[in-house]
Amino acid sequence: MIYLVLSFTQGVDYWRIYAVEKDEGTLASMQVTQQTGGQVVPMGTAGGDMSMGILPGGGSPVRGTLTYALFLDRLDYMLGRSNQWTTCEDLKQEYIDTGRASGHAAPLCEAMTVNDVHPDQVAQAARVAARHSRTPESKYLGKRN
């Protein structure tokens, strides 16, 4: 008996960030929602028939605090409030091992879809590409000729 199932999933992350001025500063709040959907493509079954199914996915908020902690650390770096860019590797030591945050950081650290690089690397790649080509080619920028 041979049974083979081929499937895939796809999704979208929605980031909602709200900011208002308050007491000579800014009060910010955010929510990350992930919407996923899976699909099972035509597949053989034990009886030799073909079947196909669609597995709908729904949107749900990212649970835990890890995604938010990483985003806020990186925001602090971009605003000049911190000298350290927190990478996905740093995340384990700084938050998970110490118990400072829980959950997952897939929207920022998913290995299949996110290139976890320092912002300076992206800027450098863009400068080099701009000098050598009218249409920049860079693994950081994701553009191809």
- At residue 112, the pLDDT reads 67
70 and 125 housed in the same domain? no
Q: Which domain holds residue 43?
A: 1-61
**Structural domains of the chain, count:** 3
pLDDT tens digits along 69-119 = 999 999 999 989 999 999 988 888 888 888 888 888 888 887 666 778 888
Residues ≥6 apart with Cβ < 8 Å to 12: 34, 35
- Residue ranges of the alpha helices (H) in the chain? 66-78, 88-91, 106-109, 119-132
Rounded-to-integer distance, Cα 116 and Cα 109, Å:
7
72 and 57 housed in the same domain? no
133 and 145 housed in the same domain? yes
Whole-prediction pTM: 0.64
13 and 54 housed in the same domain? yes
Residue (of 130, 129, 75) closest to 138 by Cα position = 129
